[in-house]
Amino acid sequence: MSEGDVQILLVEDNPRDVELTLHALRKEKLANNVEVARDGEEALDFLFCRGKYAGRNGKNQPRLVLLDLKLPKVDGLQVLREIKNQPSTQAIPVVILTSSREEKDMVSGYKLGVNAYIQKPVDFEQFREMIKEVGLFWLVVNQPPPLAAFQPK
């Protein structure tokens, strides 16, 4: 993976949340290669190299998708479904990051194969701590899926 490749795809429609999340990631020096998608459609365009991302190299998938659930156009669960349905994207770790702890959403998320489900805390300290732990775990501790994991069977 070359320098400049996107490491984290942050799918979040609220600009304040984007800013707070980026701030937290920046503090942990994890914010260099973050791409922000502001709705579900943009997220899917990025991952499947469509629309304004048509020129993107689909072989370089992000190492982590941080996915909000309440999204304009295509909602978070639908984005998750499409990611986990396609061989070219299904190995990408997806972490749902949402205000909701609605059981229905948690059940749907896990059934669709989400890798983690996190409720955003109100307390900024806790939020920052949470972002730090998630970033460190998926980008540093976790072994990323090998390229073969993105090939069709």
Partner 1 sequence: MLSYETTKALIQIEAARDHNREVRETAQLLLTELDDAETGQRGYLITGKEPYLQPYNEATKAIRQTVRSLDRSIHSPFERQEMEQLKPLIAMKLAELQETIDLRRTKGFAAADQIVLSNRGKRAMDEIRKVIGAMIGREDVLLDQGRSAAQSSASRALIALAGGGLLSVGLLLFVFIVLTQEIRLRKRTEEALRESEERLLLVIEGVKGYAIFMLDPEGNVLTWNAGAERLKGYRADEIIGKHFSIFYTPEDAAAGKPAHELAAAEAESRTADEGWRVRKDGSRFWASVTITALRDDAGKLRGFSKITRDDTVRHGAEEAAKQASAALARRTAELEAANKELEAFTYSVSHDLRAPLRHVDGFSKLLLEENAASLSDEAKRYLGFVREGVIQMGRLVDDLLNLARVGRKELSVQVAGLNSLADEVMAELKHDCAARSIEWKVQPLPFVECDPALMKQVFANLLSNAVKYTRPRERAVIEVGTAQENGQAVVYVRDNGVGFNMKYADKLFGVFQRLHRSEDFEGTGVGLATVQRIIHKHGGRIWAKAALDQGATFYFTVGKAESRESKNEI
Minimum distance between the CB of residue 144 and partner 1, rounded to whole angstroms? 29
Minimum distance between the CB of residue 71 and partner 1, rounded to whole angstroms? 13
Gap between the Cα atoms of 125 and 114, Å rounded: 25
Q: Is the Cβ–Cβ distance between 18 and 10 less than 8 Å?
A: yes
Interface residue list for partner 1 (CB under 8 A): 14, 16-17, 20, 23, 99-103, 120-125, 127
**Is 37 or 131 the residue whose CB approaches partner 1 more closely?**
131
Minimum distance between the CB of residue 120 and partner 1, rounded to whole angstroms? 6
Quickly count: other Cβ atoms within 10 Å of residue 122's Cβ: 8
**Is 100 or 115 the residue whose CB approaches partner 1 more closely?**
100
Minimum distance between the CB of residue 50 and partner 1, rounded to whole angstroms? 29
Residue-wise over 30-58: b if at least 16 C-beta within 10 A, else e?
Answer: bbebbbbbbbbbbbbbbbbbeeebeebee
**Is 59 or 101 the residue whose CB approaches partner 1 more closely?**
101
**Is 3 or 103 the residue whose CB approaches partner 1 more closely?**
103
Q: Is the Cβ–Cβ distance between 64 and 31 less than 8 Å?
A: no
Handedness of CA 40, 43, 114, 84 (dihedral sign): positive
